[in-house]
Amino acid sequence: MIRSLHCGQDLKTVTGGIGLALCERLLSHDAQVQLCLACRNGQRAEAARQALLVSHPQAHISLVQLDVGSMHSVFKAAQEVRQRYNRLDYLYLNAGIMPNPQVDHKAFYKGLFSGKAVHMFSTGEGLLTQKDEVTSDGLQQVFATNLFGHFILVRELEPLLCRPGNSSLIIWTSSSNARRSAFSLDDLQHKQGNESYSSSKYASDLLSLAFNRHYNSKGLYSSVICPGLVMTNLTYGILPSFFWTLIMPIMWLIRIFTNTFTLTPYNGAEALFWLFKQKPEALDPMAKYHSLTSGLGNNYTQPCKMDIDDIMAETLYEKLLDLEDAIRKKL
């Protein structure tokens, strides 16, 4: 029996995000898989469950309430999961936000004619800034949601993930927008800058490496994926929807030049699904696994070496442990 916990699986307004597409794909692959969807909004979570049950009426799908940006909620959800299950095989850390995104139009037009247009379209590098907020825990919201809440969750679920004789896998939905220069060990939460998304995703790449170093001996493995550019609520939030509708034909055209334009949640979930079928022990801790879609619409997964190192990963890990201590004392 395989149990898998997914963070951030709500059925979104029209589209449904990458997490929901992954659940569909997992259930189509193995009807016996037991899913536990960890979502912040009960109604949307139930709607997602019902949608999955329409195509998979026999599926085992349970829900747990989790706002990964609130530390109280993370501790509570982890306790709930520990009471319900004695083992977890996969933990998909998929929840992610990019609040108040702003596009630098000038940089976009400059990039178009710079000879680096394909790179710009695949990574969004230099095009986006965000305005972050502070949570009731006193943490930067993007850091808390995209990184720290997941860190605490993994630590709290350790007894279910680290079981003698079993290996388990945690999977971070990172991004090709993760960039070393956006991240600083002196400003983990990215209080000073305006690229909190890029910073948090780079931190998740580092943290995955650190988790491998600390937990492989206990049977827990960690991997990182990038879903490519997918049209979901996250991307629709960057520009007005009518604009996306207008440029959609161009987006499909760009797909001929870059296989990173996966565009649909189904395609974007490719690497998440591929990892489900791998032996955790065989995965490369230094690789980010990319969902890619060819011009003809064929999906595949490709590993790409990450720009990370052990020393940085270890320093980040130590700092997160200190912050965990401080939060535990406060709650």
Ligand X SMILES: CC(C)CCC[C@@H](C)[C@H]1CC[C@H]2C3=CC[C@H]4[C@H](C)C(=O)CC[C@]4(C)[C@H]3CC[C@]12C
Ligand Y SMILES: NC(=O)C1=CN([C@@H]2O[C@H](COP(=O)(O)OP(=O)(O)OC[C@H]3O[C@@H](n4cnc5c(N)ncnc54)[C@H](OP(=O)(O)O)[C@@H]3O)[C@@H](O)[C@H]2O)C=CC1
Residue 103, interface with ligand X (CB under 6 A)? yes
Residue 89, interface with ligand Y (CB under 6 A)? no
Total chain residues near ligand Y (CB under 6 A): 31
CA 114 to the chain's CA centroid: 30
Region from 32-40, 118-126, 207-215, 307-315 binding ligand X, contact rule CB under 6 A:
118-126
Kindly tell me which residue out of 22, 78, 97, 224 binds ligand Y, with binding defined by CB under 6 A. Answer: 97
**Cα diameter, the chain:** 56
Residue 291, interface with ligand X (CB under 6 A)? no
Residue 269, interface with ligand Y (CB under 6 A)? no
Give the separation between CA 244 and CA 130, rounded to whole angstroms: 19
Q: How far is the CB of 99 from ligand X (least distance, A)?
A: 13
Q: How far is the CB of 48 from ligand Y (least distance, A)?
A: 8
Window 178-237: residues binding ligand X (CB under 6 A): 229, 235
Kindly tell me which residue out of 34, 47, 63, 108 binds ligand X, with binding defined by CB under 6 A. Answer: 108
Give the separation between CA 311 and CA 317, rounded to whole angstroms: 10
CA 227 to the chain's CA centroid: 9
Residue 92, interface with ligand X (CB under 6 A)? no
Window 127-156: residues binding ligand Y (CB under 6 A): 145
Residue 123, interface with ligand X (CB under 6 A)? yes
Residue 173, interface with ligand Y (CB under 6 A)? yes
Q: How far is the CB of 225 from ligand Y (least distance, A)?
A: 9
Give the separation between CA 118 and CA 302, rounded to whole angstroms: 18
Q: How far is the CB of 275 from ligand X (least distance, A)?
A: 18
Nearer to ligand Y among residue 72 and residue 310 (C-beta): 72
Give the separation between CA 70 and CA 150, rounded to whole angstroms: 11
Nearer to ligand Y among residue 69 and residue 285 (C-beta): 69
315 strand-pairing partners: none
Q: Which residues bind ligand Y (CB under 6 A)?
A: 7-10, 12, 17-19, 39-41, 44, 66-69, 94-97, 145, 173, 175, 226-227, 229-230, 232-235
Q: Which residues bind ligand X (CB under 6 A)?
A: 103, 105, 108, 121, 123-124, 127-128, 175-177, 229, 235, 238-239
